[in-house]
């Protein structure tokens, strides 16, 4: 448990820094939104571009692991969206809730935790999980949000509006440009790479501080939000890793890859859904609660799995 706590403590520290700064009046009521805009428009696109442009697909193509982790994420995301839509919720909010239940913090917490738990060989599955989560799942959620926000009923005009919105979305543009560079075979020039590293490295810390700033604003969470948050945290920390384990068993993954898939599926909710909730001006209170609560509880759930796996 102590090794897990050591990895997540910086997450708590950055959230607390934002919370304390907001409570102390250092930042105003719009600070969370403005800092989040920096993340969405500059830092996260730079990170996605850098990761995708420098990916070596021949080294990371592991079909079994991709299927196991991808399906565990997709099934939880799809089930959550469907459940929210059955309750007559807007599609945009349903997509964000789907991210709350399926979008794990596989990069900021995943890389150091996997290195401590499984060693250097865990870097490749962690990178695969990051690409699936940050690029694929995030893109699907953005598409659903854009569809939900458009009022045009005609399928052709709806598709045109959604397409135009996606082209203007900095997150989608960053990842798409990275794909083009990767497919072209041209490397990223060293000066540009340094800029990307500086901007991309700011994405997670700034998003966590923005989350703290949001939490620092005085508000009262409705009881329905507490119930919804409990359900979403349960889906993220219990159902998703259980699905990953079942799928890994069905796909006969080797032991190390099975542990990697389960651990990465057990990561707490990342800041991605909070970024989108703020960016699209949706209610972010539930999302902030899920991110914080799942991060706290994951110290116990991940430690319990590590203890069980070691004993097993």
226 found inside a domain: no
Cβ contact 31:177 at 8 Å: no
85 found inside a domain: yes
Spell out the long-range contacts of 82-91 with Cβ–Cβ below 8 A and sequence spacing 24 or more.
90/148, 91/144, 91/145, 91/147, 91/148
pLDDT at position 146: 86
153 found inside a domain: yes
Cβ contact 173:45 at 8 Å: yes
123 found inside a domain: yes
222 found inside a domain: no
Domain CATH code at residue 283: 1.20.1530.20
70 found inside a domain: yes
266 found inside a domain: yes
pLDDT at position 200: 87
Helix (H) or strand (E) holding 158: helix 155-168
233: phi then psi, degrees, rounded to nearest 5: -65, -40
| Domain around 30 | 2-216+234-311
Strand, helix or coil at 113?
Answer: helix
42 found inside a domain: yes
Residue by residue, pLDDT tens for the chain (312 residues) are 666 667 677 877 888 899 999 989 899 888 988 998 898 899 888 887 887 888 777 767 789 999 999 999 999 999 999 999 988 779 999 999 999 999 998 877 887 788 778 888 887 898 889 888 988 898 899 889 988 887 655 667 767 776 776 777 787 788 888 888 888 878 889 999 999 999 988 888 888 888 888 888 766 655 557 888 999 999 999 999 999 999 999 999 998 899 999 999 999 998 889 888 888 888 888 898 998 899 889 888 988 888 888 755
Strand, helix or coil at 269?
Answer: strand
- When divided into structural domains, the chain yields a total of 1
């Amino acid at each position: 448990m102590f090794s897990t706590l050591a990895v997540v403590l910086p997450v708590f520290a950055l959230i607390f820094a934002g919370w304390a700064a907001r409570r102390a009046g250092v930042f105003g009521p719009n600070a969370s939104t403005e800092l989040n805009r920096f993340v969405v428009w500059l830092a996260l696109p730079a990170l996605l571009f850098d990761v995708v442009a420098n990916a070596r697909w021949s080294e990371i193509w592991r079909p079994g692991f991709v299927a196991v982790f991808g399906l565990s994420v997709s099934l939880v995301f799809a089930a959550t969206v469907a459940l929210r839509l059955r309750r007559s919720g807007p599609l945009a909010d349903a997509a964000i809730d789907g991210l709350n239940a399926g979008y794990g913090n596989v990069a900021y917490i995943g890389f150091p935790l996997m290195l401590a738990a499984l060693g250097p060989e865990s870097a490749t599955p962690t990178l695969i999980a990051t690409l699936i989560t940050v690029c694929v799942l995030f893109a699907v959620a953005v598409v659903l949000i854009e569809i939900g926000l458009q009022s045009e009923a005609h399928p052709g005009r709806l598709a045109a509006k959604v397409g135009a919105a996606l082209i203007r979305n900095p997150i989608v543009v960053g990842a798409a440009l990275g794909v083009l560079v990767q497919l072209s075979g041209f490397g990223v020039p060293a000066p540009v790479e340094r800029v990307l590293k500086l901007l991309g490295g700011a994405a997670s810390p700034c998003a966590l501080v923005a989350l703290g700033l949001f939490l620092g604003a005085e508000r009262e969470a409705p009881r329905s939000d507490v119930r919804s948050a409990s359900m979403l945290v349960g889906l993220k920390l219990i159902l998703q890793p259980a699905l990953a384990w079942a799928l890994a068993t069905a796909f006969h993954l080797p032991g190390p890859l099975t542990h990697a898939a389960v651990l990465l599926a057990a990561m707490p909710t990342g800041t991605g859904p909070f970024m989108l909730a703020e960016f699209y001006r949706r209610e972010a209170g539930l999302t902030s609660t899920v991110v914080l609560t799942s991060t706290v509880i994951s110290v116990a759930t991940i430690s319990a799995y590590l203890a069980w796996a070691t004993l097993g």
